[in-house]
Amino acid sequence: MILMFVIVLLVVFSVCIATGGGNVKVTFTSSHDPPNIAEGGTAVFNCSSNHSTVLISWLLNKTSASVFTSLGVIVNGGGTPVSSLIIPGLVNPFNDTEVQCVAFGFGIGDFSPSSVTLKVQGIPAPVDNLTLSYDSCCYMFSWTAPFTLPGFSILNYNVNVTSDGMMINQTKLNVSIIQWKYCPKEVVTHTFSIAAVNNVGEGKISNLSMEKNEINDTELIDQYLDYESQNHIIDIKISVSCSYQQ
């Protein structure tokens, strides 16, 4: 279970506007600095003026925030001097959304302090640069971590090896590991799967299929033969070559 905590008033934009009736102060605050949240979390924005006739509205990507109420957006106190905006952590459509507080009235027209861009981190994308190489008769896999937003770094990698739908190997790798070696012992097709994990969940899976046509193994075989009532010990050392097909 992921616990989400909201820390209030971390980002503050405060602007004073000189008018014929004095100064009007508009303050815009955000619950996160930078405004990055996890999928399933919540971002809270607050905007207020110090004048009863300077009212607040909200824009998301230049569109009225009230348009998005069916998606869970909540506008509290819209059209009043003090308003808050609550945006749910949905990657689609709220990742990379410009959030803008607009103050209007008292002869100032429409005025907005600096806007912020909300980013929503979902599960990680597939690992980057997944490559397969060979070391003796083993498979060597390497990769680079997918991009994540600050505060949502990769925690670990889940690695699976399957054959005909059956799990052969299941490993959780430390985040510092970006290379993994696997040495199969059977002449079967293997599927290698890897997914990065962050605190949102397991990311999208990358797969590679490998076919091992021959087993390369070196074995020392002690074979005892009974020949004409005499015991003979024969040491047989077998070394065969490997060929791979991806």
| Residue 111, domain CATH | 2.60.40.10
Nearest to 54 by CA among 77, 30, 29: 77
Is residue 3 in some structural domain? Answer: no
Q: How far is CA 237 from CA 214, 222, 223, 234, in A?
A: 17, 9, 11, 10
What would the pLDDT profile of 182-200 be if each residue is shown by its tens digit?
Answer: 888 776 788 899 999 999 9
Q: Which of 121, 155, 178 is the last residue of a domain?
A: 121
Query: Both 44 and 107 in a single domain?
Result: yes
Query: Both 167 and 227 in a single domain?
Result: yes
Is residue 146 in some structural domain? Answer: yes
Is residue 15 in some structural domain? Answer: yes
Please state, in angstroms and rounded to a whole number, the distance separating the CA atoms of residues 221 and 238.
8
Query: Both 117 and 132 in a single domain?
Result: no
Is residue 5 in some structural domain? Answer: no
Indicate the range of 51-55, 106-110, 136-140, 235-239 predicted with least confidence: 235-239
What would the pLDDT profile of 122-179 be if each residue is shown by its tens digit?
Answer: 999 999 999 988 777 788 899 999 999 998 999 999 999 998 888 888 899 998 888 8
Domain that holds residue 203: 128-245
Q: Which of 121, 139, 168 is the last residue of a domain?
A: 121
Is residue 139 in some structural domain? Answer: yes
What would the pLDDT profile of 198-244 be if each residue is shown by its tens digit?
Answer: 999 999 999 888 765 444 444 433 333 343 334 444 343 334 445 54
Query: Both 101 and 29 in a single domain?
Result: yes
Domain count, the chain: 2
Query: Both 180 and 150 in a single domain?
Result: yes
Who's near 44: CB < 8 A, 6+ residues apart?
6, 8, 30, 31, 84, 85, 86, 87
Report yes or no: 203 and 122 within 8 Å, Cβ to Cβ.
no
Query: Both 113 and 155 in a single domain?
Result: no
- What is the rounded average pLDDT of the residues 49-65? 93
Query: Both 152 and 225 in a single domain?
Result: yes
The answer, yes or no, to whether the previous bond of 184 is cis (omega within 30 of 0) is no
Q: Which of 60, 89, 121 is the last residue of a domain?
A: 121
